[in-house]
Amino acid sequence: MMFWRFVLRAVELRKKRLLLAFSALAVAATLATALFSIYSDIERKMRVEFRGYGANIIIAPEGGGETVPLAAVAEAERQGAVAAAFVYTVGRLGGEPVVVAGIDFQRAGPLTDYWRVEGARVAGSGECLVGSTVAAHFRLRAGQQAQLQDAPCAIRGIVSSGGPEDAQVLLPFAAAEKLAGLHDAASVVEVRADGERVTAVKAALVKALPGTDVRLLHAVAETEANVVLKIRSTLFLLTALILGITTLCVTGNFSALVLERSKEIGILKAIGAADRKIAALFLSESLILGLASAVTGYGLGLLVAWCIGRQIFPGSAGTGVGVNYGVFLPVAGVTLAVAMVATLAAAARIWRIRTAVILRGE
Amino acid sequence: MFLRFVSESIRRAPRRKAMTVAAVAMGAAVATAMLGVMLDIGDRVNRELRGLGANLIVTPRAASMPVEIGGISYRPVSREDYIPEDQLPKIKSTFWHLNITGFAPSLKAEAVMGGRKVPVEGVWFLRRLRGPDGAPLEAGLRTVNSAWKVDGQWVDDRARSDAALEAMPGSALARKLGVKPGDTVQLFGQPFLVRGILSTGGEEEDRIFVRLEVLQRLLHRPGQVDAVQVGALTKPEDEFARKDPARMTRAEYDRWYCTPYISSIAHQIEEALPMAVAKPIWRVADNEGKLLGKIRGLMLLVALAALASAGLTVWSVMATTVLERRAEIAVMQATGASNWMVMALFSAEVALEGAVGGLIGSWVGLLLAEWVGRSVFQTSLEIPAMLGPVVVAAAVIASVAGAAQPLRQALALDPAIMLREGQA
């Protein structure tokens, strides 16, 4: 008990001086928590961003066939992916041929985020969207009627994407299927699987859908994997760097704390205190400091990670944004370890010197 | 006198000085490394994102609406709508030509193979040519689509030759026809040697690619091109970029023109090729923009967090230094030094420590940033030369600022009291 009274009194008396060491360690703990939180979550966040690209797997007809069975969509969804069927045929508008695309607007929504649309993004029964090139060619606008042969429809929106949609009339899947004379089949099925599972999903689809050509879009899958890896590596290296440097700083700080009190150590030894007891004294002080910093740093670090997460990736689920609660143990552990080792090293240096030398003031 | 003051101070407590300088150096190293990486990472990631493919498509302005499914046209193509091949190098003469990483012209046709209609595309695979300023440049499919895989070999078309009958079918088509690299296929009544088979995962797999000049000769369309795919490094769109250029003021227009937004690069390509219209491929451009914006933002915030802690470190180290030397300050006051003199001497010494620490730290930081760049991106990062001096200056300012308040406090105290109490 006397031991703890000693320690606590020492901490109380040297509050101001200890504040500096505390803040150095707290800053290190804050940074560690924030950086680790972000690092552990960054992959997930970035893969979410890549979803905007749309499909990364295409299911196309194989062999002599021209169509893909609609069952492919259900199969892909069973694998946990987003999938939609598309059917293409040629229709007639104003006496001219025009490409008609049938789209399952509900399912295709997440795959076509990049469309720039004036008007509605979805067309219901008896409605359609037209691509910007088609609109310009036939001088059509939203709200007008498109006199598509066998399937006249009300134009709900104009789509501009820089891709094939610009030259198409987009009908709901059922209407286009009828025009094309198909039943329970699609021209192509587009699939979006999560980046880290894409090869597994592709393999599963190949097995489940013989008679179709399941293609992995190399450009998307590889670029995603590449960029995610590079960002993670950069963050990892930067984190290691910053932490290495702050550890050095903290070590210096804690060593200084002990070295300043060499006279005190000299006196303690002179009145007969055992080396181990002296060490225990200083270590306890460091322990208190270390715990206090770890807790403060953890709290502040989570706050920093949360703020950064909110700023950069808004709209992601609530508090899960960039915050990793599980970081506490490793951060606290490392923080305390650094504090203790530094203290012990410094103390060890001192008590090796002869008491008289210390008291004399060297 | 200042020199004597400083050298005496160093002589008396060399280890303490070294520790102070080391602490400043560490802060400066963190700041430099973070800033060095942060400033260039946007560019590096932008280049990686070019693996997604073309983000601009250039087509003849007069071209009528295409009626095309899977590369097969359902309406005869008008021969009057084309982009002249000899004008293509002008793409590299726009204001942002350095941002254009590649362009690939193509001419589309159809042939019958294995009893069905197959889209045929005449392209440059990897053509060497001279830019408008005479500098050598490379263009073609491979400069825009770096992620495409080949079973076999690419057609080597660095030099133009309209007699080289070589072809590269997509892998789905090759499977249907049962061809392998080295086989011969019949196109337009001529035998074409299959050099390699393209695997992309996209609709290219149902096509067969041949040399542009060969297809031009076979179709009697010399020097004509249907479309050009362009890949460019862009700056993410923001509110300003979405404004209509026709309605911008002169100053706004200049700013828009001089920023590599996808829309301004498209506009400049149209200026260089007046017979064409350039459109962004939003599937690629949109996502690049969003991703880049987020990554840059993230790096900035992380850098700020690190800078804050570096600044705090320097500040606290300097504050401690002053605290420890209060007895010295008291002695100086007692022997008649004016407050101003004490402030000046200490600030100068602290500034010197800051400068030395800053120099060492920024040099180490630059090395560390270089190391991160090499490890992750396998290239050197482009770090602005001003970074080092700026960090040194910041270190000096942080040091002097950190020492200022404790100095003022110490000077306000009665020297007799400070001397009597000994060490703080």
Residue A169 CB coordination number (10 Å): 28
Q: What is the pLDDT of residue A157?
A: 95
Residue A319 pLDDT > 50, yes or no? Answer: no
Please name the residues in contact with A279: beta carbons below 8 A apart, sequence gap of 6 or more.
A344, A347, A348, A351
For B85-226, strand residue ranges (E) read: 100-113, 116-123, 127-130, 136-139, 149-152, 166-169, 184-187, 190-194, 196-199, 208-211, 224-225
Nearest CA in chain A to B283: A114
A255: exposed, middle or buried (C-beta count within 10 Å: 0-12, 13-18, 19+)? Answer: buried
Instruction: Tell me A89's DSSP state.
Output: E
Query: Tokens for B292?
Result: 């880049």
Which of A35, A231, A248 is closest, CB to CB, to B26? A248
Residue B423 pLDDT > 60, yes or no? Answer: no
Residue A127 pLDDT > 90, yes or no? Answer: yes
A34 touches chain B (CB under 8 A): yes
**Tell me: the pLDDT tens digits for A248-294?**
777 777 777 777 777 777 788 888 878 778 778 888 888 888 888 88
**Tell me: the pLDDT tens digits for B154-195?**
999 998 888 889 999 999 999 999 999 999 999 999 999 999
- Ramachandran assignment for B328, one of left (phi > 0), alpha (psi -120 to 50 degrees), beta (any other): alpha
Residue A245 pLDDT > 80, yes or no? Answer: no
For B201-281, strand residue ranges (E) read: 208-211, 224-225, 227-232, 276-280
B35 touches chain A (CB under 8 A): no
CA–CA separation, A233 and B378 (whole Å): 12
Percent of chain A with pLDDT over 90: 43
Residue A12 pLDDT > 80, yes or no? Answer: no
B285 touches chain A (CB under 8 A): yes
Residue A66 pLDDT > 90, yes or no? Answer: no
B319 touches chain A (CB under 8 A): yes
Within chain B, what is the greatest distance between any pair of CA atoms?
108
**Tell me: the pLDDT tens digits for A220-244?**
999 999 999 999 998 888 888 877 7
Q: What residues are paired with B276 via a beta bridge?
A: B60
B190 touches chain A (CB under 8 A): no
* Tally of CA atoms within 13 A in the half-sphere of B402 that contains its CB: 28
What's the rounded mean pLDDT across residues A57-67? 88
Residues on chain A touching B199 (C-beta within 8 angstroms): 218
Residue A78 pLDDT > 90, yes or no? Answer: yes
Q: What angle do CA B302, B308, B312 make, to 5 degrees?
A: 150
Query: Tokens for B302?
Result: 């992380």
What's the rounded mean pLDDT across residues B222-232? 94
**Tell me: the pLDDT tens digits for B2-60?**
778 778 877 777 777 887 888 889 889 888 988 888 888 888 899 999 999 999 999 99
ipTM of the complex: 0.84
pLDDT, chain A, mean = 85
What's the rounded mean pLDDT across residues B288-292? 89
b/e map B236-272, b = 16+ CB within 10 Å: bbeeebeeeeeeeeeeeeeebbebbbbbbbbbbbbeb
Contact indicator for B132, B93 with CB cutoff of 8 Å: yes
Type of residue found at A153: C
Alpha-carbon gap: B134 to the closest alpha carbon of chain A (Å) = 32
Q: What residues are paired with A192 via a beta bridge?
A: A82
Which of A58, A97, A114 is closest, CB to CB, to B287? A114
Please name the residues in contact with A319: beta carbons below 8 A apart, sequence gap of 6 or more.
A306
Contact indicator for B373, B37 with CB cutoff of 8 Å: yes
A242 touches chain B (CB under 8 A): yes
A191: exposed, middle or buried (C-beta count within 10 Å: 0-12, 13-18, 19+)? Answer: buried
pLDDT, chain B, mean = 87
Residue listed under structure tokens 């067969």: B208
Query: Tokens for B414?
Result: 């009665």
